């Protein structure tokens, strides 16, 4: 199939999409961006040396933390806002309301600042102080609510929905509910940008992709795009303890066991973003393998990466990297595997680099953190 055919990329050619502004000019190809919008996406792929050597595969991490808001959620955030504006639901000065573990909120707040909208974020109070501080710095109005299950009407997702309806009713400039879990603009953003970038950056030589699920936008969007380019590319889910997808993928029932300190991932239901695209192949989706990953086995990869490779990554990246090791073992040596480096470890400093917290959770403590004072690195 020649260059220019739908969905086919050639070396040196950037993916195109309707909502995303990819760099057509020479200057932009050199990394010059004109705006926040242009700075979202086109993130580097970084070879993870330790886990590549461990498995005999080439394991790449897609450095989503290099997005302007510092996470993989800038892409869907920007797309959700632009989609709502394009459909006439948001007028200048209108409100974007969302329930989020934090990263989507940061992306929405920054997109709102860049495009002229206000942001109201509903966040479970258990999320890290660093993300809450960042949201406030970005100018978002923050509503902290108790962390209660999805079936409770006061869960942050339902709460944010009601708040959006109320603001839309009382403010002529309008308000939208981002609805990242069930608004499929989320997975489309990854289908149209993250997936093509990975295929392009590996020159099509990618054998597997693996990631954890929060909304499912990344897994479903990237998975579907890669499968369409080459049905032999294996797609895998890495599920943290306490999430219910592993058992759903394995046995068809949503059951969860255990717990995890990870934030932004760990889903207990089949979101609209997962439905179809992000389910196992036997259920009509694109997922070939699924792994359960505990914090205990995942976190050491994170500390080793920081110490030996200079990458300071957040908790969901640990689950993803451990998932990549498991996928490498399923496929065998010699394969190329891509996963997502979702955000930076500094976003979870009070947990990830806090010996007291780690000890309380019975999690492995890196030797360099286990100082006599117990509270300093």
Q: Rounded to a whole number, what is the largest CA-CA distance in the chain?
A: 63
Closer Cβ to ligand PMP, 190 or 326, answer by number? 190
80 closest CA partner among 177, 219, 192: 177
Residue 238 sits at φ, ψ, to 5 deg, of -110, 115
**Residue 283 DSSP label:** G
Closer Cβ to ligand PMP, 168 or 295, answer by number? 295
Tell me how far apart the alpha carbons of residues 287 and 13 are, in angstroms, rounded to a whole number: 27
Which residues between 34 and 73 bind ligand PMP (CB under 6 A)?
Answer: 71-73
Give me 322's structure tokens: 């451990």
- Contacting residue, 316, 337, 344, 358, with ligand PMP by CB under 6 A: 316
Give me 124's structure tokens: 């479970």
214 closest CA partner among 263, 146, 142: 263
Smallest separation, CB 58 to ligand PMP (Å): 22
Which residues between 319 and 358 bind ligand PMP (CB under 6 A)?
Answer: 342-343
Closer Cβ to ligand PMP, 15 or 266, answer by number? 266
Closer Cβ to ligand PMP, 155 or 316, answer by number? 316
Task: Look at the chain and count its residues.
Answer: 377
> Which stretch in 19-27, 216-224, 227-235, 284-292 sits in contact with ligand PMP by CB under 6 A?
216-224
Residue 39, Cβ neighbours under 10 Å: how many?
18
Name the closest residue to ligand PMP (Cβ). 264
CB-based contacts of 95, cutoff 8 Å, min separation 6: 117, 118, 119, 120, 164, 167, 168, 171, 173, 174, 175, 176
- Contacting residue, 140, 210, 213, 328, with ligand PMP by CB under 6 A: 213
- Contacting residue, 51, 96, 97, 101, with ligand PMP by CB under 6 A: 101
73 is a catalytic site residue:
yes
Which residues between 240 and 279 bind ligand PMP (CB under 6 A)?
Answer: 264-265
Smallest separation, CB 303 to ligand PMP (Å): 17
Residue 193, Cβ neighbours under 10 Å: how many?
26
> Which stretch in 169-177, 208-216, 237-245, 250-258 sits in contact with ligand PMP by CB under 6 A?
208-216
Residue 278 sits at φ, ψ, to 5 deg, of -105, 25
* Contact flag: residue 314 with ligand PMP (CB under 6 A): yes
Stretch (H or E) spanning 205: none
Smallest separation, CB 73 to ligand PMP (Å): 5
Catalytic annotation, pick one of 6, 62, 73, 131: 73
SS3 of 313, please?
strand
Closer Cβ to ligand PMP, 118 or 190, answer by number? 190
**Beta strands 45-47; 58-63: pairing state:** antiparallel
Closer Cβ to ligand PMP, 71 or 179, answer by number? 71
Residues annotated as catalytic are 73
Residues near ligand PMP (CB under 6 A): 71-73, 101, 103, 212-218, 264-265, 314, 316, 342-343
């Amino acid at each position: 199939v020649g260059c220019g055919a739908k969905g086919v990329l050639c070396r040196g050619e950037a993916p195109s999409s309707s909502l995303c502004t990819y760099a057509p000019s020479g200057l932009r190809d050199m990394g010059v961006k004109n705006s926040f919008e242009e700075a979202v996406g086109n993130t580097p792929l970084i070879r993870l040396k330790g886990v590549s050597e461990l498995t005999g595969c080439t394991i790449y991490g897609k450095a989503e933390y290099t997005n302007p808001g510092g996470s993989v959620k800038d892409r869907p955030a920007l797309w959700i806002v632009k989609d709502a504006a394009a459909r006439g639901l948001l007028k200048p000065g209108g409100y974007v309301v969302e329930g989020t573990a934090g990263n989507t909120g940061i992306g929405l707040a920054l997109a709102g600042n860049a495009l002229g909208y206000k942001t109201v974020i509903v966040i479970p109070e258990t999320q890290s102080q660093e993300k809450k501080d960042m949201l406030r710095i970005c100018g978002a109005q923050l509503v902290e609510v108790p962390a209660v299950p999805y079936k409770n009407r006061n869960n942050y997702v339902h709460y944010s929905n009601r708040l959006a309806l109320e603001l839309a009713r009382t403010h002529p400039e309008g308000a939208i509910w981002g609805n990242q879990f069930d608004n499929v603009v989320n997975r489309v953003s990854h289908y149209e940008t993250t997936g093509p970038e990975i295929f392009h950056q590996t020159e099509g030589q990618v054998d597997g992709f693996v990631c954890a699920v929060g909304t499912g936008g990344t897994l479903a969007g990237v998975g579907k795009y890669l499968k369409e380019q080459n049905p032999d590319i294996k797609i895998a889910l890495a599920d943290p303890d306490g999430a219910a997808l592993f058992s759903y993928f394995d046995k068809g029932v949503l059951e969860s066991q255990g717990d995890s300190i990870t934030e932004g991932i760990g889903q207990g239901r089949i979101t609209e973003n997962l439905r179809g695209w992000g389910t196992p192949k036997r259920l009509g989706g694109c997922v070939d393998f699924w792994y359960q990953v505990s914090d205990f086995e995942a976190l050491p990869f994170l500390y080793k990466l920081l110490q030996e490779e200079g990458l300071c990554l957040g908790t969901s990246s640990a689950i993803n990297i451990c998932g990549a090791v498991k996928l490498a073992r399923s496929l065998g040596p010699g394969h190329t595997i891509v996963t997502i480096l979702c955000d930076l470890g500094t976003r979870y400093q009070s947990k990830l680099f806090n010996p007291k917290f780690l000890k309380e959770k019975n999690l492995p403590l890196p030797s360099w953190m286990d100082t006599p004072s117990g509270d300093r690195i």
